[in-house]
Amino acid sequence: MIVRTLDEITDTDADIKTPNWRSKRIILAKEKLGFSVHETTLYAGTVNDFWYANHIEAVFVTEGEGEVENKATGEVHQLKPGSIYVLNDHDKHQVRPKTEMKTVCVFNPPVTGREVHDENGVYPLIVEE
């Protein structure tokens, strides 16, 4: 059994901070569970382009409001607490938080914690040995 708190993650190397968002990586590939779990806070008024070409991501909104746009179709979905979106087709997308948004994100395959978004918003596929 794994039991962990956000306080244990805060200000460690598993707590990634950028000008637009902060991601606390709670469960990573090293746990060998087949997925990773993160709490991500997206800051109000930011524009965030992502494309997880190597991962499937599910995002559950727990606080705040915003919108997500499917870049291929232009379709925009409103987000609020209780909303979930799943990038089941490696969708290029843009997230625009109207207020600070807290989300719980699940990645498959799991991230290792060493990934950095490239110029296209893509995480490289890094496999934990």
Could you list the pLDDT tens digit for every one of the 129 residues in the chain?
999 999 999 999 999 999 999 999 999 999 999 999 999 999 999 999 998 888 899 999 999 999 999 999 999 999 999 999 999 999 999 999 999 999 999 999 998 876 666 666 566 566 656
> In total, how many domains does the chain have?
1
pTM of the model: 0.88
Kindly report the CATH number assigned to the domain that includes residue 22. Answer: 2.60.120.10
Residue 114 lies in a domain: no
Residue 1 lies in a domain: no
Residue 56 lies in a domain: yes
Residue 78 belongs to domain spanning: 6-108
Can you read off the two tokens belonging to residue 41?
A: 């806070």
Provide CB contacts within 8 A for 127, sequence distance 6+: 29, 109, 112
Instruction: Say if residues 33 and 43 touch (Cβ distance below 8 Å).
Output: no
Residue 12 lies in a domain: yes
Residue 124 lies in a domain: no
Residue 115 lies in a domain: no
pLDDT at 117: 62
pLDDT at 126: 61
Give burial (CB, 10 Å; 0-12/13-18/19+) of 17.
exposed
